[in-house]
Amino acid sequence: MMDMDQLVALCRRRGFLFQSSEIYGGLNGFWDYGPLGVELKRNIREAWWRDMVSAHNELVVPAGAPSAYEMVGLDCTIIMHPQVWKCSGHYDLFHDFLVDCRESKRRYRHDQVQGRWVEAKGRRIFVATEAGGDEGLTDAEHKALKFFDLRAKHADELHWDGPLVSLTTVTDLSKVLGPDAKALGTLTEPREFNLMFETYSGALRDENSKVFLRPETAQGIFVNFKNVLDSTRVRIPFGIAQVGKSFRNEITPRNFTFRSREFEQMEIEFFCHPSTSRAWYQYWRDRRYRWYVELGLAGERLRLRDHEAAELSHYSCGTADIEYAFPFLPPGEFGELEGIAHRGDFDLRSHMEGKLVRQGDGLVVELDAEGKPKYRGSGKDLTYFDDQTKERYVPHVIEPSAGADRAALAFLCEAYREDTAPDEHGVPTARVFMKFHPRLAPVKAAVFPLVKKDGMPEIAREIYAALKPHVNVFYDEKGAVGRRYRRQDEIGTPFCITVDGQTLSDGTVTIRDRDTLKQWRVHKTDCLAELRERIANS
Ligand code: ATP
């Protein structure tokens, strides 16, 4: 498997990803996409929008779907009325637990710290670490030796009790040796930390002008449900899609772009009749998984995992995650790319009635000390009237919620390849190439004259000019052609078109395939058709 450091270096060197505000030392949890990264991410967003929304044919029943359905889009603001977040539950509940270390002054997410119980010299302590897997075990041993003042050759004096477990399993924090501490018991009790970024709207800075940067795009869809119904002719079942920035003040951003504080989501809220919602949940779970497979995450590093009952949020009757075994995670661990949740009628009811809480098997409006709704809903009617069956009901919602940055990171990790291929003299040489699906590749084709003379550049420029309005192509006439191929391989360009001596006599050019290195000839006027066909059939 690839080394993550090499991918990070390639991303920086070739302009996929930079740290935000790098010249000022960077800002933790924020990333910029460079000239190639922006193309990759746009291609991911566009593939998603096209496959889910604009190319969806509402007249036919897709494979595995309970019926035909419609899809429309929205683009909502990042800052919304604060009541949206009070009724959705984010204001009260969207938090992580953090612990502070009094000694190192560092802050940790409670559930991200792990550790192991160990006994030595008559004392039993919990050695905490931020690392997982083998790295976590090594780190814990190293820290325990230091704490008990033992040399490595006396490691057998450490009596370990059980594997690495979460810090959340430990009740007595006085026995914990914090991840960056030398003394015991320096971690504070866990406390809640709301992940929503706050700011103020307008000239006054008081409680009444406080607003939030959205932590998800979903709520913009729910609060526009009625607008969409009233302004279009969509009928249930239908979905509303939105792509846009979301913000979460993550306690410990980490793992490249995986956990960022500003990121982009691609979300669908799919509205259906309660009686068919299970079948729709199944459809979306499978459809979304297939989307990643079709775009190249086909290996064993991709999986679809159904949540256990205990993991489900209080309103959800089913959730599955699409996960990828990112190379920065310990072996056997997976990171979430997308969650598909059956959310019942929770969201629309929350925005009608007010913030809901579970009571027995049902959901009721949460009341304050005086018995009034804690957070009032909009009071607007968000039910749906089916004019054929004459039934009025609150639709159920299936939510496939994906992250564009995590998808980009997974496609980058999956694409990274090393092999050996003959150089321009036919000598086998190490090669790094990015095996992007052609739909996602930032540059679809490069156009080269074999040499910078005999009229070859003129023909190559003509081909380039003819392709450029239709596909993202790159022109290069500098240096040996072998080296030009390598530079394109490294950024994942699937095809290279070369004008050579034969072009001058019969008008054909060679097209070289990045993955197989096979070359074939087509007429110079057929390049666009050839590229379109190859990209469509990949
Ligand atoms: P996690 O448990 O990893 O924090 P989550 O379950 O809170 O994720 P959701 O609320 O389901 O995530 O958000 C939907 C999607 O948004 C995720 O699957 C992921 O792709 C993306 N996402 C969420 N948080 C982040 C983040 N901090 N950085 C990048 N992408 C994110």
Tell me the β-bridge partners of 443.
none
Which of 88, 242, 261, 263 gets mutated to test ligand 1 (max ligand atoms within 8 A of its CB)?
A: 263
Q: What distance in Å separates the CA atoms of residue 398 and residue 53, rounded to the nearest whole number?
A: 16
Q: What is the pLDDT of residue 104?
A: 95
Which of 249, 305, 336, 409 gets mutated to test ligand 1 (max ligand atoms within 8 A of its CB)?
A: 336
Rounded to the nearest angstrom, the distance between the alpha carbon of 216 and the centre of ligand 1 is 9
490 to each of 425, 471, 499, how far by Cα in Å? 19, 19, 21
pLDDT tens-digit profile of 450-468? 999 999 999 999 999 999 9
| DSSP code string of 488-517 | HHHHT--EEEEE-HHHHHH-EEEEEETTT-
Tell me the β-bridge partners of 433.
417
304 with 297: CB under 8 angstroms?
no
Asked if the model's pLDDT at residue 426 lies above 90, the reply is no
> In which band, very low, low, confident or very high, does the pLDDT at 54 lie, cut at 50, 70 and 90?
very high
Q: What is the pLDDT of residue 315?
A: 65
266 with 48: CB under 8 angstroms?
yes
Q: Which atom of ligand 1 is nearest to the CA of 407?
A: 20
Strands of 80-134, DSSP E: 95-100, 107-109, 114-120, 123-129
Q: Which atom of ligand 1 is nearest to the CA of 265?
A: 16
Q: Which residues of 284-323 are buried (b: 16+ CB within 10 A; e: fewer)?
A: bbbbbbebbeebbbeeebbebeeeeeeeeeebbebbbbbb
Q: What distance in Å separates the CA atoms of residue 475 and residue 444, rounded to the nearest whole number?
A: 12
Q: What distance in Å separates the CA atoms of residue 200 and residue 206, rounded to the nearest whole number?
A: 8
pLDDT tens-digit profile of 364-423? 999 999 999 999 999 999 999 999 999 999 999 999 999 999 999 999 999 999 999 887
pLDDT tens-digit profile of 178-218? 999 999 999 999 999 999 999 999 999 999 999 999 999 99
Instruction: List pocket residues of ligand 1, CB cut-off 6 Å.
Output: 216, 248, 250, 259-260, 263, 265, 336-339, 401-403, 405-406
Rounded to the nearest angstrom, the distance between the alpha carbon of 112 and the centre of ligand 1 is 15
Q: What distance in Å separates the CA atoms of residue 32 and residue 418, rounded to the nearest whole number?
A: 26
pLDDT tens-digit profile of 156-173? 999 999 999 999 999 999
Angle at 276 between CA 270 and CA 278, to 5 degrees: 80
- Residue 298 tokens, joined: 């086909």
Q: What distance in Å separates the CA atoms of residue 501 and residue 499, rounded to the nearest whole number?
A: 7
Query: Which residue matches tokens 């792509």?
Result: 243
Ligand 1: which residue has its CA nearest to atom 22?
403
SS3 443: coil
Q: In the structure, how many helices (H) and strands (E) does the chain have?
A: 14, 29
Asked if the model's pLDDT at residue 298 lies above 90, the reply is no
Averaged pLDDT score across all residues of the chain: 95
pLDDT above 70 covers a percentage of the chain that reads: 99
Q: What distance in Å separates the CA atoms of residue 47 and residue 438, rounded to the nearest whole number?
A: 11
Q: What is the pLDDT of residue 3?
A: 84
> In which band, very low, low, confident or very high, does the pLDDT at 1 lie, cut at 50, 70 and 90?
low
Rounded to the nearest angstrom, the distance between the alpha carbon of 252 and the centre of ligand 1 is 13
Q: Which atom of ligand 1 is nearest to the CA of 250?
A: 27
According to DSSP, residue 189 is labeled P
Q: Which of 377, 302, 323 is nearest to 347 (CA)?
A: 377
Asked if the model's pLDDT at residue 148 lies above 90, the reply is yes
Q: What is the pLDDT of residue 133?
A: 87
Q: What distance in Å separates the CA atoms of residue 22 and residue 24, rounded to the nearest whole number?
A: 5
Q: How many residues does the chain have?
A: 538
Q: What distance in Å separates the CA atoms of residue 474 and residue 492, rounded to the nearest whole number?
A: 12
Q: What is the pLDDT of residue 101?
A: 96
> Which amino acid is located at 48 in the chain?
W
Q: What is the pLDDT of residue 203?
A: 93
403 with 31: CB under 8 angstroms?
no
Asked if the model's pLDDT at residue 174 lies above 90, the reply is yes
SS3 85: helix
Average pLDDT over residues 142-147: 96
Ligand 1: which residue has its CA nearest to atom 11?
339
Q: What distance in Å separates the CA atoms of residue 475 and residue 493, rounded to the nearest whole number?
A: 12
Rounded to the nearest angstrom, the distance between the alpha carbon of 336 and the centre of ligand 1 is 7
> Which amino acid is located at 57 in the chain?
N
Average pLDDT over residues 239-264: 96
Asked if the model's pLDDT at residue 507 lies above 80, the reply is yes
Which of 406, 411, 412 gets mutated to test ligand 1 (max ligand atoms within 8 A of its CB)?
A: 406
pLDDT tens-digit profile of 313-343? 766 778 999 999 999 998 899 999 999 999 9
Rounded to the nearest angstrom, the distance between the alpha carbon of 415 and the centre of ligand 1 is 22
Q: What is the pLDDT of residue 314?
A: 67
> Which amino acid is located at 21 in the chain?
S
Ligand 1: which residue has its CA nearest to atom 21?
403
Q: Which of 278, 346, 352 is nearest to 316 (CA)?
A: 346
Rounded to the nearest angstrom, the distance between the alpha carbon of 402 and the centre of ligand 1 is 8
188 with 108: CB under 8 angstroms?
no
53 with 241: CB under 8 angstroms?
yes
